[in-house]
Amino acid sequence: MELCLKELKKELAGEIIGHSIHHFQEIGSTNDEAFSLGMEGAPEGTVVVANSQSAGKGRLQRSWFSPPQANIYTSVILRPEFNPADAPRITIMAGLAAAQTIETYCPRKARIKWPNDVLLDGKKVCGILAQMQTNEDKIDFVILGIGINVNISADEFPAEIKNTATSIAAQTAAFHSRQDLLITLYKNLSKWYKTLTSTGFEMIREEWLKMASLIGCETQVKFGNEIIKGKALGIDERGALVMSDSKGKTVKILAGDASILKEN
Ligand code: BTN
């Protein structure tokens, strides 16, 4: 079913996120559009949402599978007044909001893989691409691009992600309203963003850890050509992954692709 903008606007009136909605049938990438809007001065909480993307972007220069009619592709503009070094907190916050949204459809099944992939049954159902624009050492804006596989069936995924991707429909054997899911997502984002900017990161960190998949496991993190192996211990006050390496030394990692080598 198509999104109903009128209902979306009614449901989101008064929320921090979603008060201004830019909707497209097809677009290159909602992140690119949101980035242009951010540069033009669009206010915090403006969102871009599309029915399909012809050039959906993933983390680490990957592409994001974005067929029409089935899934959610949205980007949110935020203008937090904190140090750029603390920006990873925002991606952790977004992962928590997305995971809790997905969990309403799949109770007790959603897990977050650092930094912010959401997994169902060990497979990726949601990815988040954060892009930041700074100005004289301050955050001008952050774009949070969120892709959720909602109603796509398992056999529709391209061969290269067939074994690693899933959708809410594939896990629940039912189709779901993208409109309702989007409203829940924006409301959860509003709630946790308000917590982050008013009371700080600690409560978000605690809730995130309850849903985290890597903690206590032998883990590998790849960033470019570098590979770090060790036991994942948690995340620190900035959202960095804390690991104990093979020599027992504590290391903190701000970006990368994590995978479990051995469950605890
Ligand atoms: C990842 O690699 O896990 C991040 C995927 C992010 C995909 C979303 S879909 C909406 C937004 N627009 C994009 O081009 N990418 C993000």
pLDDT tens sequence across 244-258: 988 899 999 988 889
100 with 206, same domain: the answer is yes
Residues (pLDDT < 50) of the chain are none
One domain, residues 174 and 237: no
| Same-domain status, 138 and 222 | no
- Return the pLDDT at 1: 67
**Are both 45 and 109 inside the same structural domain?**
yes
54 C-alpha to center of ligand 1: Å?
Answer: 12
- Residues paired with 180 in a beta bridge: none
Nearest residue (by CA) to ligand 1, atom 9, is 147
Same domain, 27 and 146: yes
| Mutation probe of ligand 1 site: the residue of 36, 64, 146 with most atoms within 8 A of C-beta | 64
As given in the structure block, the two tokens for residue 73 are: 């592709």
* d(C-alpha 186, C-alpha 184), whole Å: 6
Atom index in ligand 1 nearest the CA of residue 59 equals 2
Ligand 1: list residues with CB < 6 Å.
29-31, 53, 56-59, 62, 64, 73-75, 117, 127-129, 145-147
Both 75 and 131 in one domain: the answer is: yes
Considering the domain architecture, whether residues 120 and 224 belong to the same structural domain is answered as: no
Q: Atom 10 of ligand 1 has which residue's CA nearest to it?
A: 73
64 vs 165: CA distance, rounded Å: 11
Question: What is the extent of the structural domain holding 227?
Answer: 218-262
Whether 226 and 144 share a structural domain: no
Residues 256, 148 share a domain: no
> Ligand 1, from 26, 47, 73, 257: best to mutate by most atoms within 8 Å of Cβ?
73
Q: How many CB atoms lie within 10 A of CB 30?
A: 29
The answer to whether the Cα torsion of 110, 157, 2, 141 is positive or negative is positive
Number of domains in the chain: 2
Handedness of CA 218, 209, 206, 182 (dihedral sign): positive
- Whether pTM > 0.85 for this model: the answer is yes
Q: What is the pLDDT of residue 59?
A: 92
Q: Residue whose CA is closest, atom 3 of ligand 1?
A: 127
pLDDT in tens, 39-94: 999 999 999 999 999 999 999 889 999 999 999 999 999 999 989 999 999 999 99
Distance CA 155, CA 62 (A): 21
Task: Evaluate whether 242 touches 236 at the Cβ level (below 8 Å).
Answer: yes
116 and 234 both lie in a single domain? no
Q: Which segments within the chain are labelled E, that is strand?
A: 20-27, 46-53, 72-78, 110-113, 117-120, 123-135, 138-148, 218-223, 226-235, 241-245, 250-253, 257-262
CATH number, residue 225? 2.30.30.100
